[in-house]
């Protein structure tokens, strides 16, 4: 997977799943569907991966296991859903769900990038103007704005690298702990993780996976280390006869909405319908919070540019007049 997942890459993934959904819904087997998709792959990288995938399947491996065998290609959430669809005979439905999921992610990512384009331009313009002014009046300081801009680049790429899923569980747990403390972002991440957990859990239970294994796999698919650790701590109690509803009620990782609906779904025997509702609710709510962030991050950058620019102007003219007075006093 690339270091930065762009809207274009997300749209390619959505196209990959939508094509698979259309082909499997038309009655083609997965081998024929992948062979057809290989000829019309969204990109050369997907063509290569599809060819490799076909090689594993032709050796007798299941689809999900074959996807896991290709390193750094698909997230665990995707593969878990596909494995559940494979076991339940609902592959086309899982492909459609994943396609729609990545279409929505691409829209949000495009909105964030579009909102950041002009503020980022202003930051570069401010650095260039400051460096030019300092070059004529304070030559020794002219490189400071460029150094500051370079440090911003370093901080940005360090943050991107730190939040990649390819790191170990301990590292991801620490990063998740820090991000969860940030207003709005923490709730957005947690709700999106709950949406992924609900989607994977519904698909796994419908596929006939045991409830303990389904919860473990769904927690891994959620992408949340905190949820995964919480569910893993339940396993001894679940094997001793306690129900997931009891564990959810006692856990502090699940909001009241999730807890109430899950308990009601388990008692009523309509857990699949409940999980579908929870999936839709938390994906929509998490997406809404991400859209709020997309609106406010550019405003924050505007304010930063205003404060830094204003501070620079005040500093420049204060220093300039001090030098003028010093020069006048010397006569």
Q: What is the DSSP string of 34-64?
A: HHHHHHT-SSHHHHHHHHHHHHHHHTT--HH
Question: 4 pLDDT exceeds 80?
Answer: no
Question: 326 pLDDT exceeds 80?
Answer: no
Same domain membership, residue 262 and residue 199: yes
Please compute the mean of the pLDDT values over residues 150-154 and round it to a whole number.
Answer: 88
Same domain membership, residue 195 and residue 63: no
Q: Of 43, 65, 99, which closes a domain?
A: 99
Q: Of 99, 125, 145, which closes a domain?
A: 99
Please compute the mean of the pLDDT values over residues 21-35 and round it to a whole number.
Answer: 89
Same domain membership, residue 13 and residue 117: no
Q: Of 99, 132, 157, which closes a domain?
A: 99
CB 159 within 8 A of CB 151: no
Same domain membership, residue 310 and residue 218: yes
Asked, for residue 1, whether it belongs to a domain, the answer is no
Same domain membership, residue 117 and residue 93: no
Give the pLDDT score at 3.
47
Give the pLDDT score at 145.
84
Give the end-to-end CA distance of the chain in Å, rounded to a whole number. Answer: 68
The CATH number given to whatever domain includes residue 29 is 1.20.81.30
Please compute the mean of the pLDDT values over residues 166-181 and round it to a whole number.
Answer: 76
CB 275 within 8 A of CB 254: no
For the ranges 50-59, 182-191, 203-212, 310-319, the lowest mean pLDDT is seen at: 310-319
Question: 227 versus 208: which is more confidently predicted?
Answer: 227
Percentage of the chain lying above the pLDDT 70 cut:
94
Question: 15 pLDDT exceeds 80?
Answer: yes
Asked, for residue 159, whether it belongs to a domain, the answer is yes
Same domain membership, residue 74 and residue 209: no
Same domain membership, residue 161 and residue 26: no
CB 41 within 8 A of CB 47: yes
* Number of structural domains in the chain: 2
Work out the mean pLDDT of the chain and round it to a whole number: 85
Same domain membership, residue 326 and residue 269: yes
Supply the range of the domain harboring residue 138. Answer: 112-331
Same domain membership, residue 82 and residue 193: no
- The reported pTM is 0.77
Same domain membership, residue 157 and residue 62: no
């Amino acid at each position: 997977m690339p270091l930065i997942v762009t809207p274009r890459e997300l749209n390619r993934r959505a196209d990959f799943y939508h094509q698979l959904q259309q082909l499997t819904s038309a009655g083609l087997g997965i081998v024929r569907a992948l062979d057809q998709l290989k000829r019309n792959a969204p990109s050369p990288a997907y063509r290569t991966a599809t060819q490799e995938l076909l090689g594993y399947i032709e050796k007798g491996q299941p689809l999900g296991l074959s996807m896991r065998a290709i390193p750094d290609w698909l997230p665990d959430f995707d593969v878990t859903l596909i494995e559940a669809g494979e076991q339940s005979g609902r592959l086309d439905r899982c492909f459609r769900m994943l396609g729609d999921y990545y279409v929505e992610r691409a829209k949000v990512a495009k909105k964030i990038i579009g909102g950041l384009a002009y503020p980022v331009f202003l930051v570069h313009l401010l650095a260039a103007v400051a460096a030019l002014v300092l070059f004529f009046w304070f030559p020794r300081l002219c490189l400071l704005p460029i150094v500051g801009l370079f440090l911003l680049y370093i901080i940005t790429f360090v943050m991107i690298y730190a939040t990649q899923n390819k790191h170990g569980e301990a590292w991801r747990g620490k990063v998740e702990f820090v991000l969860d403390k940030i207003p709005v972002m923490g709730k957005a991440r947690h709700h999106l993780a709950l949406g992924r957990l609900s989607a994977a859990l519904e698909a796994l239970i419908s596929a006939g996976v045991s409830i303990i294994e389904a919860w473990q796999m769904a927690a891994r698919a959620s992408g949340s280390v905190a949820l995964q650790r919480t569910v893993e701590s339940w396993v001894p109690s679940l094997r001793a006869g306690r129900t997931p509803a009891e564990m959810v009620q006692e856990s502090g990782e699940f909001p009241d909405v999730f807890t109430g609906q899950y308990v009601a779904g388990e008692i009523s025997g309509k857990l699949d319908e409940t999980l579908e509702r929870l999936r839709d609710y938390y994906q929509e709510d998490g997406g809404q919070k991400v859209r709020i962030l997309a609106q406010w991050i550019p405003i924050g950058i505007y304010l930063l540019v205003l404060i830094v620019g204003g501070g620079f102007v005040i500093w420049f003219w204060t220093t300039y007049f001090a030098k003028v007075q010093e020069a006048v006093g010397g006569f």
